[in-house]
Structures are given as C-alpha cells and as structure tokens.
Amino acid sequence: MEPLQILYRDENYVAVHKPAGLLVHRSWLAGREEGQRFALQMTRDQLGRWVYPVHRLDRPTSGVLVFGFSSGAARRLVREFEQRRIEKRYLAVVRGYAEARGEIDYPLLAEDGVAPQRAVTGYRRLATVELEVAVGRYATARYSLLEVFPRTGRMRQIRKHMKHIFHPIVGDTSHGDGRHNRMFRERFDCRRLLLQANRLGFRHPYEGGEVRIGAGADPELARLFAQLGWSRWLEATGS
C-alpha cells in the first residue's frame, strides 16, 4: 500500500487521508485478519513516531483522519469532539434526487445496542445526475451529490440516516441498495462506499487558532466525479 497522504502537521497533531477500506486501528476482530494494516500503524511507521487516535472513520469511509502526537494532545482534541465543537463536512453520493436541503433528527441505537441516542444530520444537495441505464423497474437511474453535516457522532450515523430518508449511499453494503451498488461496479468499476470525510475544522487546543483541513486528492473519487460531471464540487468542497 502506498504511503498515506499527509494533509496537515504541527507539533501536536497530524492529519492523513485515510483511503476507503482501511481500518483506523486494530480491534479484536480485525486483528485476526492476516496481513491487515491500519491507519494508525501506517502513520506511525511513516513518520517514525507514535501517534494516538482522536476520532474514527468507518472502514469503507475515506477522508480526513487526525491523530495526536501524544496522549495528552489527543485527549484535548477528543474533548472538542465530545463537546461538538468540531466542524465536520462529508461528501456522499446517494440514490435518487434528495431534497435541496434538510435535517434528519432520528435516534439511533448506541453501540451496545441497548438504548437509542439522539442523532442529527444536516445535508445540502450540491448536484444531481440522471443516467440512461435501467436499474430495477425504472428506465433511468437518478443520483444526488450531497454535502453532509453530522451534528452528532453516532456509529454509522450518516449511512443509517441516508437509508432512513430513502436515499441510501451508493456502495453501502450494509445499509444501501444492492442493485445500484452493482450498477456502479459494472458501469464505473466503482467498488467502494461513496462517502468521504471531506473537511474537518477545529480550534487548535494549544495555539487557539482555527484549523481547517481538506481531504485533498482522492484519485478514485476524482475519476468517478469526472464521469458524472461533478469534478468542480470535489475541488470546491475539499479546499
């Protein structure tokens, strides 16, 4: 695997572009997969120093991932996430024509599966496309490009919320539509979840200034967006 793209670095933090399909760190289940690599391990080896996780991204999600260079630095930024003082922007390709903008306020089960917790996701439609290809009972297939703003940080929140409003994310094998996933594999050779953590912003815990980190180049998305006529949106939202 190629070295991870470094998006930001200072004395306390480093941000990398996590590719789709890469786990953030070792877990009991993932640790059993032979030859499995992890973003934390790769960043550590690439920079030659220890790094500590601040937040996570689902395995199939690509984009901005931040680590601290010390446990104390990581804890300071974790508190910003817990207090919801982090600006998070995602790009998502979803089935159908979504509303121009909206907010999904729908509780999701906690990770222990016991009690639902409030979960809120805002979104804005950036573009649409209609493809002359039959999927299911329709003669054409419609898709929307969304900019998504999770207000809370529940597990798989964006993926579950998009399914809830009947606009599942393309490439989502857990909460998506298999017919559309298959069409993207066959027509575009696209075999990934079309969800990117596109931008992350926060007030620096040590220096006090505003930090905004864009996801940078993603060749897979760049190729697909060019085919769909959406290249300008990838460039505009990643800056």
Calpha distance 121→146 (Å, rounded): 12
Give the residue among 142, 100, 144 at the shortest CA–CA distance from 122: 100
Element (H, E) at 7: strand 5-9
Q: Are strands 116-117 and 195-203 parallel, antiparallel or unpaired?
A: unpaired
According to DSSP, the residues that pair with 227 across neighbouring strands are none
Which residue in 10, 58, 105, 112 is the catalytic one?
Answer: 58
Q: Which amino acid is at 226?
A: A
Note if 58 is an active site residue.
yes
Give the residue among 198, 89, 61 at the shortest CA–CA distance from 148: 89
Calpha distance 65→14 (Å, rounded): 8
Q: How many beta carbons lie within 10 A of that of residue 222, not counting itself?
A: 15
Name 20's Cβ contacts closer than 8 Å, sequence gap at least 6: 60, 61, 62, 192, 193, 220
For the record, the structure tokens of 39 come out as: 């973003």
Strands in 83-226 per DSSP E: 87-95, 101-105, 108-109, 116-117, 120-131, 141-150, 195-203, 210-214
Which residues are the active-site residues?
58
